[in-house]
Amino acid sequence: MKKSVQLRNSIRLDEVGARLQAYRLDRKLPPEQLAAKLGISRAAVYRAEKGEIAKVDLLVRIANVLEISLRELLGIAIEYIDGAVPFFRRVAQLEEESDQIIAFSGQIPYLLTSAHYDAMLAQAFEVLTKIDAETGDAVRELALVLRQRKDAYQRRRPLLVNIVFAAELERLLLRGLTVRDEPTQRLEEQRRKAKLEAMHLRELVLNQPIDVQIGILPEALPSTGFQLFRRSQHTVLIVSPYQLGDRPNLPLGAAFSMTCEEGIGHHEEAARQMWSRALKGQQAATFIDGLIERYGIVE
């Protein structure tokens, strides 16, 4: 009996359920259709999505439906995430479950951004919706996911640790969130909002809420960032090319997540090194002032 309890805990059935739910939502499958694929009732689908999975054969069927190996489903291997919408939806799930989020993507942490940032992002999304109908639908769905993420964060307020790269802030001040070369008037509008957002970041750095830690890293680093989501004794690592910063990258790319201790350990060490070299408090605020003076739009 003790052995079965330990096995149940180590498998992280709630993570399996979260992946099953993400699969259903990404493909817009009615619960009845997923139930038919799995050979279970609609009610059993909802229970499985909550992690209530009592039989090994159901795990095998879930792996088959997701078209992955059982090892990957159980968190022994890597989970690949294709597409920005599935990626940010997965991030939203992890944020809802985590007590601590360590974000070393280099960008301004989206959960802490102001209305100015959302206005810049809306303009960028407007351009992306014109690429084609499929991209337009994806962008509108993504905008909804992002709003839900902010709302959920305000309800739970997990501990956030964030590193912002100086180069990302420079580009934001120079171009805003432009997807491509913009007319002068539109670019200036983006840059004005970017300057206000940089001032908002400065205020956050100088007067950090008790559950927020922000550092500014002056030196250049690799462009692909990562996030660590922690809950009690469980940590999930996500590495992603998707970004909401300068020239948002949404249509193309692939992200991955893992729970293996070795991969997490390497990234935790990288996070410690970057955090130790980052500017904080008044030093960081003074540095941001310098960036605004050099790269911010002159009114």
CATH code at position 221: 3.30.870.10
Q: Domain boundary residue among 76, 93, 128?
A: 76
Range of the domain at 33: 2-76
- Are residues 48 and 138 located together in one domain of the fold? no
**Pair (101, 214) in one structural domain:** yes
Lookup: tokens for 115: 């209305």
Q: Classify 36 in phi/psi space as left (phi over 0), alpha (psi -120 to 50) or beta.
A: alpha
Q: Of all helices (H) and strands (E), which one includes residue 264?
A: helix 261-277
What is the C-alpha radius of gyration for the chain, rounded to an integer number of angstroms?
21
pTM summary value = 0.76
Quick one: 130 exposed, middle or buried, by C-beta within 10 A (0-12, 13-18, 19+)?
exposed
Domain endpoint, select from 76, 110, 140: 76
- 225 shares a domain with 155: yes
Alpha carbon distance, N-terminus to C-terminus of the chain:
71
For residues 104 and 54, membership in a common domain is answered with no
Out of 57, 76, 95, a domain closes at 76
The tens place of each residue's pLDDT in the chain, 299 residues long, gives 333 333 344 467 888 888 899 889 888 899 999 999 999 999 999 999 998 988 888 999 998 998 887 877 776 667 888 888 889 999 999 999 999 999 988 888 999 999 999 999 998 888 878 877 887 888 889 899 999 999 999 999 999 999 999 999 999 999 998 877 778 888 999 999 999 999 999 999 999 999 999 999 998 765 678 999 998 878 999 998 887 766 666 666 788 888 877 788 889 999 999 999 999 999 999 999 999 999 999 87
DSSP state of 221: -
Q: Residue 12 belongs to a domain with what CATH number?
A: 1.10.260.40
Query: What total number of domains does the chain contain?
Result: 2
